[in-house]
């Protein structure tokens, strides 16, 4: 059950990857404009979600991680879906992103197991099936360049830290 308000820690992708994913999302939204995905935040990989009360602890933990971590490469390998209602780009799981997830492993917001993904579109199953048939995404090398802490809903970026 999705909570009404929570915090999420997420790994942010480099600007070139942001631009590539934004161009793809724009093409999808031009044809399917009724998506309910969160907008106005960078494309990212969610690492964990937490209750609002953990804000100060998370800010300190992010600061520690930023000091000890360098930007790293991650391969993004096409599109996939959750029940066709969520369309996402697939980041290849690697030791670096797994390590970040282990540090920020929290599952407060919805109870789902962690599955690294970069959400592009949320909508109906019918729309998702069409999107996957009509749009493709070639494999690219991307970089994780920082961590953000966000509050949801309404969406608000609380902390934006770069490696």
Domain positions in the chain: 6-162
Superfamily classification of domain 6-162: Cyclic phosphodiesterase (3.90.1140.10)
**CA angle (48, 45, 161) in 5-degree steps:** 80
Using DSSP, state whether 49 is helix, strand or coil.
strand
Q: State in Å, rounded, how far the first CA of the chain is from the last one.
A: 33
99-132 in b/e form (b: 16+ CB < 10 A) is: ebbebbebeebeeeebebbbbbbbbeeebbebbb
Give me the mean pLDDT over the 28-41 stretch.
96
Collapsing DSSP to helix, strand or coil, 77 comes out as: strand
Q: Is the pLDDT of residue 3 over 80?
A: no
pLDDT at residue 46, as a whole number: 97
Report the distance separating Cα 153 and Cα 12, nearest Å: 19
Contact predicate 107/114, CB 8 Å: yes
Residue 110 confidence class, pLDDT cut points 50, 70, 90: confident
- Under the banding of pLDDT at 50, 70 and 90, the label for residue 1 is low
- Helix, strand or coil, per DSSP, at residue 82: strand
Distance between CA atoms of 160 and 154, rounded to whole angstroms? 17
Across 21-25, 36-40, 90-94, which has the greatest mean pLDDT?
21-25
| Helix (H/G/I), strand (E/B), else coil: 130 | helix
Query: What is the average pLDDT score of the chain?
Result: 96
Whether the per-residue pLDDT at 111 is higher than 90: the answer is no
For 132-157, write each residue's pLDDT tens digit: 999 998 999 999 999 999 999 999 99
Confidence of residue 2 (pLDDT cuts 50, 70, 90): low
């Amino acid at each position: 059950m999705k909570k009404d308000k929570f915090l999420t820690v997420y790994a942010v992708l480099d600007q070139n990857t942001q631009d590539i994913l934004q161009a793809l999302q724009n093409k999808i939204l031009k044809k399917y404009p009724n998506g309910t995905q969160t907008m106005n935040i960078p494309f990212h990989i969610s690492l964990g979600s937490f209750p609002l009360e953990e804000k100060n602890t998370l800010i300190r933990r992010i600061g520690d991680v930023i000091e000890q971590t360098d930007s790293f490469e991650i391969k993004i390998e096409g599109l996939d879906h959750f029940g066709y209602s969520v369309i996402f780009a697939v980041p290849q799981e690697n030791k670096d992103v797994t390590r970040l997830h282990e540090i920020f492993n929290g599952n407060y917001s919805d109870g789902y197991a962690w599955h690294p993904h970069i959400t592009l579109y949320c909508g109906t199953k019918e729309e998702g099936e069409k999107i996957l048939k009509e749009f493709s995404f070639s494999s690219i090398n991307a970089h994780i360049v920082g961590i953000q802490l966000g509050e949801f809903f309404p969406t608000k970026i609380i902390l934006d830290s770069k490696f």
